[in-house]
Structure 1
């Protein structure tokens, strides 16, 4: 069994044949977890929510996080079949386009990405961005299915954090992106354009309707103020039923809590550069006549 040794909180979760092997790569700069998911029977693999490293002070990208995941693909002898995005992230730049360029693996995302592209394409006056999602290779509707080797994959449309959010049910595991976090931390914010707390509550119920033993892999982890000291990103449907934001709350109570909480939150540090790149599936903006590329960010936009 492959084990990555780093100073960060990486884990390898082995499972019997017919169930996916999952490797989580934690990025401490953005608290993002990228997943390498593979079928032990065939070696077919997918990467979920890859990170392109970005230094906002130096305004430079780098590929250290991507290299770690691709090194694992090579070391394990896996065949990378897809790069899967749960949504257009607002807190990190995606590494999807870099991986596609290097490996040829197609990029998949929920079909409602067109709404996000329209909103932020207009904001950035990004004439090269099509609201037809053509920069992505595959777009998925709720209930779409495909296979990862011998393991079935089902796409669940789970909007609320953004209108385009999807979760991927791969065998006995579900990858929920930012829909919900570890049970002791809570659930996603809903104050981005197209977000909605009531919609998120109902999306969460869709996840909680899965069997209790379903393993849940979250897109981020943040340490609670009074609690554990180590980052974690694997839980279960049964454990999520005791999520701190859900326990004892009706739908109306949840909406009131979520909206009040969101009103106190600052925008993510990288929201504008992240979305400028992520609506392009991770490709950088087109070069100017000089050959240089620029991150052109609208003033007073958020």
Structure 2
């Protein structure tokens, strides 16, 4: 069965989120949702997610799944909000527990607030696990390397790759976050490039290099032929060198700290403190002269 796909572009984070559904009046999944967030003020709102809810209701859809390809470091997930609005289940790869354990230490989160066992999500997918979206058949492919928990959702010839791949002129995701590994990413991209060549690859981000128009869909054949970081004939050692050298030049993502703190909680905010106010932490790197 052919999947119907509606893409939504979140301009401020260059994120593409998808509603995938079997038919009007049928069943759907929302992939890689986004909360609106102003980092200068801490203001959070739901305009983008509400656009997706409006689409769901206009098409009389039942949303079975809110799917996360990984715990994103560049936008805050709207998964928890959407789950409450749509009575859906949040799914993520089982590697999320590794990410939770890593960032619990970085942000000094205690066990009472976050157990790091994935229980803030409704389902932890295993490699090659199958799932249904109404009449649509889905399969989960573990594609780590960018993060420990990165997965690809393969739905009726469509692969939603998260940050594992970008459009061919943008290459691949960085691997310098905790748990990232360029060699592992090479293997994951090769796994995707071994899918049938006509498989459609749907990106989670597009940064429009050179000012080109927004693009977020390609094919396995095109990516395998022209991806600037890893294509037909690219050796593993060469890819690792290119990826690691490029990562050394990259700044910390603008929304890294707020995003990860929310996303490892399945889109929920950190627990409010004694004044009933929730806060985002930023670990400080203090020079010797200031100590």
Whether 1:79 and 2:46 are equivalent positions in the alignment is no
Q: State the alpha-carbon separation in 1 of the partners of residues 60 and 6 from structure 2.
A: 14
Q: CA deviation at 1:149?
A: 1.1
Aligned length: 282
Q: State the alpha-carbon separation in 2 of the partners of residues 288 and 112 from structure 1.
A: 29
Do 1:83 and 1:108's aligned partners in 2 also have CA atoms closer than 8 Å? yes
Q: Give secondary structure in 2 for the equivalent of 1:174.
A: strand
For 1:244, which of 228, 241, 251 is the aligned residue?
Answer: 228
For 1:288, which of 261, 270, 273 is the aligned residue?
Answer: 273
Give the aligned partner of residue 195 of structure 1: 180
TM-score normalised over the length of structure 2: 0.94
Give the aligned partner of residue 174 of structure 1: 159
For 2:84, which of 92, 96, 101 is the aligned residue?
Answer: 101
Q: State the alpha-carbon separation in 2 of the partners of residues 67 and 42 from structure 1.
A: 19
For 2:171, which of 186, 205, 210 is the aligned residue?
Answer: 186
Give the aligned partner of residue 49 of structure 1: 32
Q: Give secondary structure in 1 for the equivalent of 2:56.
A: helix
Give the aligned partner of residue 132 of structure 1: 117
Q: CA deviation at 1:267?
A: 0.7
Q: CA deviation at 1:123?
A: 1.2
Do 1:42 and 1:149's aligned partners in 2 also have CA atoms closer than 8 Å? no
Q: State the alpha-carbon separation in 1 of the partners of residues 281 and 239 from structure 2.
A: 37
> Structure 1 runs of 4+ off > 4 angstroms?
none
Q: CA deviation at 1:46?
A: 0.2
Please, what is the CA RMSD of the aligned residues?
1.3
Q: State the alpha-carbon separation in 1 of the partners of residues 190 and 4 from structure 2.
A: 26
More helix by share: 2
Q: CA deviation at 1:296?
A: 2.4
TM-score normalised over the length of structure 1: 0.91
Do 1:145 and 1:152's aligned partners in 2 also have CA atoms closer than 8 Å? yes
Q: State the alpha-carbon separation in 1 of the partners of residues 96 and 77 from structure 2.
A: 14
Post-superposition Cα deviations, 1:7-56, rounded to whole Å, max 9, x if no partner, equal xxxxxxxxxxx211111111111111110000127611000000011100
Unpaired stretches in structure 1, ≥5 consecutive residues: 1-17
